[in-house]
Amino acid sequence: MQNINRYSILAIIGGGLLAMMIHINSQLALETSAINASWLAHGLGGLLALGLYHVVIKAVSLPTPIKSDVPKLFYLGGLPGALTVILASVTVNSAIGLSGTLALGLIGQLICSIFCEALGLFGLRKRKLTLLELLPISLVVFGSILIISQRY
């Protein structure tokens, strides 16, 4: 239970950082372009990740943990991230705003995760959607509709 609480807190912090990232990137997109904002965000993020990678490897004094048997598909994780930044940068500056973008993005994440788990995509264990899980999903969808409908 303690691990669930720790990971829940980290997920909440990640969600807050995602909201900040989307807002900051949308402001950059207004000044330049959505593609430029994506390039800069991923370039800076890549440099930070590379720096953290080297710090952690040296701090723990582990050999470089690069495996040759990793499926090539797993290296493409940055593509959806780049598209997310571009699309969010555009939609935040539209009528739906930041909260609407995040709400609709959450619905997209739910639909995609349910689909991926149901089919066992990307190495996930196959899971069926239960009726009990439909209640929170319905509440998220209803709440998102309320957020967006109040903007007009």
Taking all residues of the chain, what is their mean pLDDT, rounded to a whole number? 84
8-state DSSP, 127:
-
pLDDT band of 47, cuts 50, 70, 90: very high
- Mean pLDDT, residues 116-137: 87
Q: With a cut of 60, say whether residue 152 has pLDDT above it.
A: no
Residue 64 predicted with pLDDT over 80: no
Question: In which element (H, E) is residue 77 found?
Answer: none
Q: How far is the CA of 95 from the CAs of 19, 98, 101, 148, 149, in angstroms?
A: 17, 9, 10, 9, 11
Predicted local distance difference test score (pLDDT) of residue 133? 83
> What does the pLDDT average to over 73-102?
85
For the full predicted model, state whether its pTM sits above 0.85: no
